[in-house]
Structure 1
Amino acid sequence: MNEGTALKSPEELESALGLLGARVRFYSGTEGMGISISGLSKNYEKIVAIAQEMLLQPRFDSAAFERLKNEIKTTIRQMSANPRAIATETAGKLIYGEGGTLSRMAYGTAASIDAITLEDVKAFYAANYSPSIANITFAGSPDQKRVVKALTTLTENWPAKDVVIPEPVAGVSAQRGVIYFVDYPNAPQSMIILAKTAMPFSDPDYYPAVIANYKLGSGSQGMLFDVLRLQKGYTYGAYSSFMAAQHQNLFMAQSSVQGSVTMDAVKTFKDLIGGYSEMINEEMLASVKNSLLKSKTSSFETIGDILSMLNDIANYNMPFDYVKQQENTINNITVDQLKEIITKHMNINDMIYVVVGDAKSQMKPLEQLGLGKPVLVQR
């Protein structure tokens, strides 16, 4: 979709956008696809016209298609040698279950890429690109009347069709409270991930969980960073976060550490997360509230920030004042409520442990952690 149109070669399209100071890119991911459009306000109508041409009159060039397939396969090969990518993919397979829809990486495998034909792409486009499942969000200086007028041509010429969005197929998830080890022979470092399923973005518990996680692993002020980097010097960074969408929702804590300290680093993760609820007190909560409220004041200073908020409203059916509701949650949440959230959504016993490193030197010591014998899994 980014490789020219039926009326313009890729070079001609790039030139046309460049003359307008514009960028139009199609993108896709695990839970959706879209178009990102940016450019000068004075050229708004012309930019929308080009975006419409790209959307409604795609080129689908066979040579470009084969080139893109090769580029994606190159990326897959590179990712297969990256310990962080290996750990992330392994965690997904273990949590969502082998064969589950969400266990697969969005870019697929070399075999699945090879199996896709240009006719498959055309058929997918014909069946799934429809205004009936689309949202349009806008932020910028053109007024509403001007924005709507330019988009009217698009909506009038884009035929709607019924689209069935499949529900994710569930797999059989792996046992929790177990260390799963991926051998990366002679690796000087180990990649560590602790993860569990979490709630969707629209869940009432989501933002309280974000608040609960803040002091544990949200940046350099978090306990994980403080202990693993500043106190022990095992890593350049250690973090945790809730990653929420509609279906693919995770709590994940992670770090890349020196290989020789793998066992103690995993123990530190286990101890900090497992004991986190007992560490929460009024003084800590007051500090968290102050930091979060300050960050909220600068959260919507750019057009991109505003657009992100609008996308959350559109994609997750959030109320128009959800940001204000989040501020109210910050102000009113209590220590007891945080402890309840931590117990419910950050329970160490519900997590899987993934370690990617040198099995010969690092796997055996992990048996000391009381989690049984680590399970060796294939890449």
Structure 2
Amino acid sequence: MKRRIGCGAVLLSVLAAPVLLVAIVSALPKPAPAPALQTVGKVAGIPQRMLAAYQNAATRLPREVPSCRGMRWPVLAGIARIESNHASDRTITARGDITPRILGPVLDGSGTGGNHTAFPDTDGGRWDGTASSERAVGPFQFLPSTWNGSGRDANDDQATDPHNADDAALGAAVYLCGNGRNLDDRAQLRAAIFQYNHSTAYVDDVLGWIDRYSQLATGTLPIGQPATGDARTVVTAALAQTGIPYSWGGGNASGSTRGICCSPSGKTGTTITGFDCSGLTTYAYAQVGIRLPRTADRQAGIGTRIPASLGPGALQPGDLVFFAYDPSSDSTIHHVGIYLGNGQMINAPRPGTQVRSEPLWDHGFAGGARLL
């Protein structure tokens, strides 16, 4: 009898286990659905027609480079953000043609900044408007010589045009893929971007935008996350200062003040009433009774520190957000803003500017701090 009861108990526990498992799984929070791409484009500042071109290129790429893995629209968007800001100041037709054309400087050996390399003409001026040399063209800034090998017809009009959003995006995808990279692998993605532009700083900038667009697309960087309570008061107070001039040393708990120093450019000084970065945050947080130290690096020591390694997705509206010469060292922090949500911050950027809202800077991102 005991053996039967024992076996029955075991049998009962085995039968009950799947039910219990189902109950546990059902109780787990479901991941938030990815936001509509139209919403992502609006928040990210990407024109819808360009976003459609990036999507189309990622979809069509397997036909062109079957061995390539990991091509996603954020990869193309990251490149185009740096190369042309998504052709945002141009007209883009329904078929993808961009006017006026986006043309880089003529590379005839007379450039400044130490780059005096001349590039012989390869297109007779067809794409770049000069038959004596070369210059980068289109939203992805292809050299005509590179376009000759990577250009593709992505809108089925029997032409390959670097000044067409669809063609240019697919051409960039082909170029980044090489002979068949796995762009899900961070090292291979870095190598692909470095091939596009042999600059480590360029690679870091592009990767920062790729990561941000990826977070927006998957919902890991929340869209429409509202500021509430004291955070709303802080954000509202900072936004109310939009348009006030930057003034080095300007701003305190009571509001804007004259600066305490000058600059050779004359863009800041004791005659300008306004805020610097930490003056703005000092004022905004004073509205909820929090007194902050006066400098950005010392403000990083207040509240709960949010490491840069967690990315912007760990930030909430109202958090302080920091930037440093060396993001691993708080002693090198030189700038602070207030996170607004959606990858945006409000800050007093630099001499000659005004308090404004803008995307989080990628270069030098040093995490944040939560005070509320």
TM-score, normalised via structure 1 length: 0.21
Which is helix-richer, 1 or 2? 1
- Relative contact order higher in (CA < 8 Å, ≥ 6 apart): 1
